[in-house]
Amino acid sequence: MSNAKDAAAAGSSNSHLPGRVLRIASDWSEPAIEWIIRLCGWSAILFVFSIFFFVFREAAPVLFGKLSLIEFFTSARWQPTSEVRPEYGALALLVGTLAVTGLAMLIAVPLGLGAAVYISEFSSGKLKETLKILIELLAAIPSIVWGFIGYMVLGPLIITTTGAAVGVNLLNGGIILALMSVPIIVSVGEDALKAVPDAYREAALSLGASRWEIVYRVLFPAARNGLLAAVLLGVGRAIGETMAVLMATGHAVEIPHSPLDPIRTLTATIASELGEAVSGSVHYRVLFVIGVVLFAITFAINLIADLVVKGIHNEQN
């Protein structure tokens, strides 16, 4: 800010009037812009806390009473609208979310990091630019379109190639989620690799390392914080995704025994049932309990990421 004032003052010495105008403008606009930016920063805190407060408030009445948490976490029977006896066992949904996220990461991490390495280290010029633009384009495809591809294209393809009974299943959801996470992993991973100083590459080359050895022994360790961030952002994308998994996974309350079994995720359950649950009913509140569980999962992932990154820092120091 003081630099800007100096610059304005310097300007005023050359021609008197414009400099004066500039100085007056900067006097009030600088603090105003500072405050706007500060509010933007604070608003994030406000939004997170108010969303958490709202979700928790809606869930609280059953969290300490009507809902048996033991049933919720250990039973795979989700029969919220039963007229015999409503049951709220979310184990199958929890397993479904973890399974589809895990499978997506098994596909997306090698694919994403491989693509990041290729773009950052092995391609150049026009090819590099084209690839970067195309991958950014991939990130811009709406999730409903991905879901539609899973439902209409990938589903029938899975039936004909694997002989599975049904094409919307864990494998379908995993592939779709992987394709959705890859652009994030590639762009964050590529930035991390780009940030490694060229001196590292030159030093390794002068020691006679091959290009693969440079990537594996020098770049990966040097960029591991950034690469870990890339992977975790991908995981976050996969866990939170709703519409695409609702369409591609089959939405069946079942603990999967093979990748060809249909599954149901926590997010898709909220999406498909919240609209029709009478507000204030037990069913409605249990859906918010699922929201709290999703919050807890993302919080745990972020916390683990922070701890791992800090651990790496300490190791390096």
**∠ CA(140), CA(300), CA(233), 5° rounding?**
20
Instruction: Tell which one of 103, 115, 215, 277 touches another protein (CB under 8 A).
Output: 277
Please tell me the distance from the alpha carbon of residue 116 to that of residue 112, in angstroms, as a whole number: 6
Which alpha helices (H) appear in the chain, and where do they start and end? 2-14, 16-61, 69-74, 91-117, 125-139, 143-149, 155-162, 170-194, 198-206, 211-213, 220-222, 224-240, 243-248, 266-273, 282-316
Total site size for another protein, rule CB under 8 A = 46
Residue 30 in the binding site for another protein (CB under 8 A): no
Residue 236 in the binding site for another protein (CB under 8 A): no
Residue 250 in the binding site for another protein (CB under 8 A): yes
| CB atoms inside a 10 Å sphere around CB 236 | 18
Residue 83 in the binding site for another protein (CB under 8 A): yes
Residue 168 in the binding site for another protein (CB under 8 A): yes
Whose Cβ is closer to another protein: residue 51's or residue 304's?
51
Residue 282 in the binding site for another protein (CB under 8 A): no
Whose Cβ is closer to another protein: residue 219's or residue 244's?
244
Please tell me the distance from the alpha carbon of residue 51 to that of residue 288, in angstroms, as a whole number: 12
- For residue 59, the number of C-alpha atoms closer than 13 Å in the C-beta half-sphere is 20
Interface with another protein by CB under 8 A: which range of 40-48, 113-121, 197-205, 226-234?
40-48
Positions in the binding site for another protein (CB under 8 A): 36-37, 39-41, 43-44, 47, 76-84, 92, 151-152, 155-156, 159, 163-168, 246-247, 250-254, 262, 264, 272-273, 275-279, 283
